[in-house]
Amino acid sequence: MHGRAVNGSQLGKDYIQLKSLLQPIRIYSRASLYGPNIGRPRKNVIALLDGFMKVAGSTVDAVTWQHCYIDGRVVKVMDFLKTRLLDTLSDQIRKIQKVVNTYTPGKKIWLEGVVTTSAGGTNNLSDSYAAGFLWLNTLGMLANQGIDVVIRHSFFDHGFNHLVDQNFNPLPDYWLSLLYKRLIGPKVLAVHVAGLQRKPRPGRVIRDKLRIYAHCTSHHNHNYVRGSITLFIINLHRSRKKIKLAGTLRDKLVHQYLLQPHGQEGLKSKITPLMFESGHTLSLFYLYPS
């Protein structure tokens, strides 16, 4: 209710009451319940989540929260490449997991929404190529932390965190999402990168500008045999980096999908051809290398 504050305990009691109202109704008797859909886990929000989980942790099927990378309206395109910014998600995940596991160990945690900047995003940035660094980082980091559901509810219209424009032309995050859904399977693999796994000096944190995530390739993708591996790599450097596969992957066939900005707009580009290693451009109906 607008203008009325509700603490975590009261919100938990409300969820319990809601579930008791739904269960006698046949079509809702097996309905799932998710919440409390909190925002950035600052001190007061963590206190709300703690009170909620203590009262109603067993009532919800998954705990939900929303993540905003940049809490402000003044944003520059290079902000989207800052490793410190990308790492804020990992910090938030740990805070939420700590509370959830205190009361309901193993309870599912879902990211119910993610935006690059507050107030629905930033025009000409949140729907640009640069925003893709945050989106792909979100997908990779969540999977590594055991969070298997992320909901994105900004296909178009409200705000600027769009997947398509007003004419339904795909924007950069659309291609990332499409590739991710087609190629990435649920099994997460550990990655060791020579030169990156180094110990920081006392009092310092290493924030890598080359981020590599690995999964078993989706078994629903019939273009690849079982046992195939999909790597997705985020290069935050201002120069190209050469990746060499080692060990059992050294001599394996590699299909490369390269997502790069188009035209003079650079990182602000909204047109992002997806190039195969062979140089062919991706179309919506053609999603495998030649």
Domains for the chain: give ranges and CATH numbers. 13-276 (3.20.20)
Is the model's pLDDT at 232 over the cut of 60?
Answer: yes
* Closest among 81, 95, 113 to 211, alpha carbons compared: 81
Q: What is the pTM of this model?
A: 0.85
Of 58-67, 107-116, 159-168, minimum mean pLDDT range: 159-168
Determine the average pLDDT of the residues in 53-70: 95
Q: What pLDDT, on a 0 to 100 scale, did the predictor assign at position 3?
A: 64
Q: Which residue has the higher pLDDT, 4 or 267?
A: 267
Q: Average per-residue pLDDT in the chain?
A: 85
Q: What tens digit of pLDDT does each residue of 15-48 get?
A: 999 999 999 999 999 999 999 999 989 999 999 9
Q: What are all long-range contacts of 282-287, with beta carbons under 8 Å and residues at least 24 apart?
A: 282/175, 282/257, 284/170, 287/178, 287/179, 287/182
Pairing of strands 274-276, 257-259: antiparallel
